[in-house]
Amino acid sequence: MAARSAPPSGPLSVAFVSPGWPPEAIANGIASYTGTIVQGLRDLGARCHVLTSRPMALIDDPSVRIVEPDTSSFYFRVRRKLDPESWPQKAFCQALAESVRGLHREGGLDLLEMEESYGWAALLASKCPAPIVVRLHGPWFLNGAANGAIEDAEFRKRDRAEGAGLAAAAAVSAPSASVLDEARKHFGLPLENSALIPNPVTVVPASDRWNLAGCDPKRIAFIGRFDRHKGGDLALDAIGRIVKQVPDALLDFVGPDRGCVDDSRHTFSFSQYLEQNLPPAARENVTYHGFLPGSKAAKLRKQTLVTIVPSRYETFGIAAAEAMMAGSPVVAAGAGALLELVQDGRNGLVAKPGDADDLAEKVLWLLNNPARAAELGRQAAIDAEQRYAPVVVARQTLEFYQGVLARGL
């Protein structure tokens, strides 16, 4: 393991690995989390850096560094031929380690936080001059399975690597009890140096929140990817059932089309699924917006009566949390961490996981009871601000980081 400096006496210096940047240019929950927690920590005086391999726009920010392996080098090309399966991951971690060491040389780096994907932490631990905290954004054994990935040799290889990454980390943080408990059981690791810290969500001022008078009482919002994981197919199935009882009900579908795998392992695009599974009359009630920046998605959400989150699993559920923070009534599947966010009948409604009929039934109830929907939305906003406001989450995160450093992990 690389030599590490003593615990900081001044402001904490933390680096985050993000799959893309800036957050508003990419439909990715890790990037959204990173953007929000970085701002929260900076508000508390911490120095934060972002390391990303996918710049999605021109970045003129000295705190953001692009991680790029030198693919043109002779060494890279030879290694890629000798080890075509593993070398891309190893090359990325090598470039990441160089970026981390650069930050450490230039101004000191106290801690690195990164996702669990591909077990990068295990490849990086011996090269990193600062302790690594792995954030459980979405272990493959959970998210891959929820998205319909085949549990073949490659699946199991990635799964083993992620377990090794967790074992190599100095500490682990999780946005929900669900994902932390599942990881402990699945990998057989105690994960003693761990903390349960929710994802932060930008606070929506009361004057800008959802309100019943400003929405169309027949419109429904889905904000997420069209894939099996996020339940995009269930959203379309549900609107097909809803319009049978409320012919003028409308669905606004916001998010990129990643393709959805059905139970027979056939993959549908959004348009194919719509064409083959909804009658013509129902298709006309669906508007597909594709990816929208967060501000535009938030504006559209305010125009609808209810936001639906039919995910088959969530390690947290940022779409649900953002809707709650905005005061939008929510119907969420009772899957994974969504049960920790949405309390049925108190701050939203909970539908049976994977059940389009029950999802439609819950949405229909809100369409028929808009005043009650508004009450649920008001309570959701109160709960979300208390739990997920960036300053609240940043304080928990900072306390956890300081504990990790104090223990010399």
Please give the average pLDDT of every successive group of 10 residues along the chain, which has 409 residues: 53 96 92 97 97 91 89 60 69 90 92 96 93 97 96 96 97 98 98 97 97 98 97 98 97 97 93 96 96 95 98 97 98 98 98 98 98 98 98 98 89
360 shares a domain with 268: yes
Does 285 reside within a domain? Answer: yes
Does 286 reside within a domain? Answer: yes
304 shares a domain with 184: no
Does 375 reside within a domain? Answer: yes
216 shares a domain with 157: no
| Cβ–Cβ under 8 Å, residues 184 and 191 | yes
Does 135 reside within a domain? Answer: yes
Does 379 reside within a domain? Answer: yes
Does 5 reside within a domain? Answer: no
Is residue 308 exposed (0-12), middle (13-18) or buried (19+ Cβ within 10 Å)? buried
pLDDT at 264: 87
Other CB atoms within 10 A of residue 203 CB: 17
Does 273 reside within a domain? Answer: yes
- Total domain count, the chain: 2
Is residue 21 exposed (0-12), middle (13-18) or buried (19+ Cβ within 10 Å)? buried
Dist CA 379 CA 216 (whole Å): 20
pTM, entire model: 0.92
309 shares a domain with 401: no
250 shares a domain with 184: no
At residue 21, φ and ψ (nearest 5 deg) are -160, 140
Looking at residue 21, the DSSP 8-state letter turns out to be B
310 shares a domain with 228: yes
We report the CATH number of the domain holding residue 232 as 3.40.50.2000
343 shares a domain with 216: yes
350 shares a domain with 234: yes
Alpha-carbon distance values, 271 to 247, 251, 283 (Å): 21, 14, 10
233 shares a domain with 188: no
Q: Can you give the residue range of the structural domain that contains 245?
A: 206-388
pLDDT at 71: 63
pLDDT at 84: 62
Q: Which amino acid is at 349?
A: L
Does 258 reside within a domain? Answer: yes
171 shares a domain with 48: yes
pLDDT at 73: 66
258 shares a domain with 142: no
235 shares a domain with 123: no
